């Protein structure tokens, strides 16, 4: 979507590998969200940043998932020891006012 860049657009990785997914809100927003969308489902909340800090990380499924936003702009979602169940589209959203979603990163764990 306009105003949010997510890279890579597609990522295929082997089970057990480490991956990083990047979100650049471009114009910069205080609030930034990560969601995960599995096939045939709506997006599910993962984590929400206000500035540099994670205001709510209650949606992260387990401790293999971690996200950072060190300068309050670009954010990276990190997944360790990937599993096949991590396969999904990972969406980033900059909020306020309104919502602008990126086109997502489609992660496939084989």
Supply the DSSP string of 26-63, one letter for each residue: SS--SEEEEEEE-TTS--EEEEEEETTEEEE-TT--ST
Span near another protein by CB under 8 A; candidates 19-27, 48-56, 63-71, 76-84: 48-56
Q: Which stretch binds another protein (CB under 8 A): 19-27, 71-79, 80-88, 95-103?
A: 95-103
CA 81, CA 61: separation in Å to the nearest integer?
13
Among 41, 52, 80, 108, binds another protein (CB under 8 A): 41
Asked whether the beta carbons of 107 and 13 are under 8 A apart, the reply is yes
* Shortest Å distance, C-beta 81 to another protein: 26
Footprint of another protein on 70-89 (CB under 8 A): none
Q: 50 has which bridge partners?
A: 31, 53
Q: Which residues bind another protein (CB under 8 A)?
A: 1, 4, 31, 33, 35, 40-45, 48, 55-56, 59, 91, 93, 98-104, 106
């Amino acid at each position: 979507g306009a105003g949010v860049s997510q890279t890579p657009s597609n990522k295929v990785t082997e089970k057990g590998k480490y991956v990083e997914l990047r979100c650049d809100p471009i114009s910069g927003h205080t609030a930034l969200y990560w969601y995960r969308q599995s096939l045939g489902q709506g997006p599910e909340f993962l984590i929400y940043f206000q500035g540099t800090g994670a205001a709510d990380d209650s949606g992260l499924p387990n401790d293999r998932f971690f996200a950072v936003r060190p300068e309050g702009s670009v954010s990276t979602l990190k997944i360790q020891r990937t599993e096949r169940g991590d396969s999904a589209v990972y969406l980033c959203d900059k909020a306020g006012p309104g919502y602008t979603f990126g086109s997502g990163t489609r992660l496939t764990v084989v």
